[in-house]
Structure 1
Amino acid sequence: MERTERFCRIELLIRSRGCVSFADLMTELGISRATLKRDLDHLRTRMDAAIVYDRERNGYRFAGTGRPVRRAAEPEAPGVWFSEREIHALLTMHQLLDGLGGSSSMGRHLQPVLERLQGMLGTSESEARELVRRLRVVPPVRKPVRGRSFERLAGAVLERRRLRLTIDPGDGGGERERIVSPLRMIHDGGIWLLDAWCHEREVLCRIPVPSVRAVQWLEMRAREVPMRVIEAELDAMPALRAA
């Protein structure tokens, strides 16, 4: 178990049980006495975790918590010990990584990260599975991108190259060509968008990537536009300005 995951598990165990003995923490984490002492010291001195030792209860708890000790006969019901923002972030990351699957090269390389996230979601594997099953983040419907358009567009953004695009905006007017300088790409509402400078119209524009039918790299360098200008003109727009 990695150190970051241990820190999270220690806090989860203490929050869920109210007070946990040193021996129980060692058993749950599967670590040595020396390692647990270092982890507790790091949490308290470097991460400002308000963990204190309670002599009467012979265990560690959070300062200021008046929670009673759970009796042994009481079942340990799974709990959520995260804020709304924390659980949303953890579930979103878990969902994105899990969606890659183990068959792709990226999925295989990120499998250890997924397993660490799983460990952070609960004090046990069954609790983590139950949390993921009961609390869900429903992603927006993702609109597919044609062929290799995304890779070519993203490459041009990074290499700062102008593009000739064939676009079908779906307005019944048919396909049209535009010479653009790609500036950045954003993902919003389940769709990738290309922010670019349209050389024909001399304006900033925002192009839905699924509407791009063909991408041709040009030799000319892309025109540079300050990011503050892009953000001011495009991020505040109530609707897309198609090229």
Structure 2
Amino acid sequence: MERTERFCRIEMLIRSRGCVSFADLMTELGVSRATLKRDLDHLRTRMDAAIVYDRDRNGYRFAVTGRQARRPGPPEASGVWFSEREIHALLTMHQLLDGLGVGSSMGRHLQPVLERLQGMLGTSDSEARELVRRLRVVPPARKPVRGRSFERLAGAVLERRRLRLTIEADDGSGERDRIISPLRMIHDGGIWLLDAWCHESEALCRIPVPQVRAVQTLELRAREVPMRVIEAELDAMPALRAA
């Protein structure tokens, strides 16, 4: 049983039984006394697991504080667990996003997740940085994504909301506003592209994300277009066509 599996097993045992003795944990995990002590210490100090020793019950349980004290049922454990291979895969995915130019715009949302993944691996901050350096993605030359445009555009695609975009013209002659229904985002040839339905031209269009200067989310639902239609018309386009 690898370390991350033991962490998950410890929390599951405490959550299901309410309180578990040190001896029972050793038996269930099949580990030495020293290994179990290290695991419990890591869970509490690195993973913020609220595991406390109950002298009256001679076992380990979850502390009940704040909102949990007012909830019925047993205290909650600290959340989702992954195996080491799954953690490595997730860290690789983060490096891939960073290489595609969106790591910084999504970083503040991903950072708590990355810290938790590092804690599961049992690595220090310096060891985690060294590990990430071994997963490097070298992208082709790309146009940078402006500010929070990627995050807002991707959010609208998933939430199915219409947008008002301010888009820079291809020839640099100025800017124009368009109301669109975002349908899909793709990365091709070093650039992020937004596939959308343009409500002015009443047609599908493909918008280079670096040309988007402003994004306003509207309350209207996005128009739905079947993916087979999007793929048939836009994936065969010989060149970019902005709204």
Normalised by the length of structure 2, the TM-score is 0.49
Normalised by the length of structure 1, the TM-score is 0.49
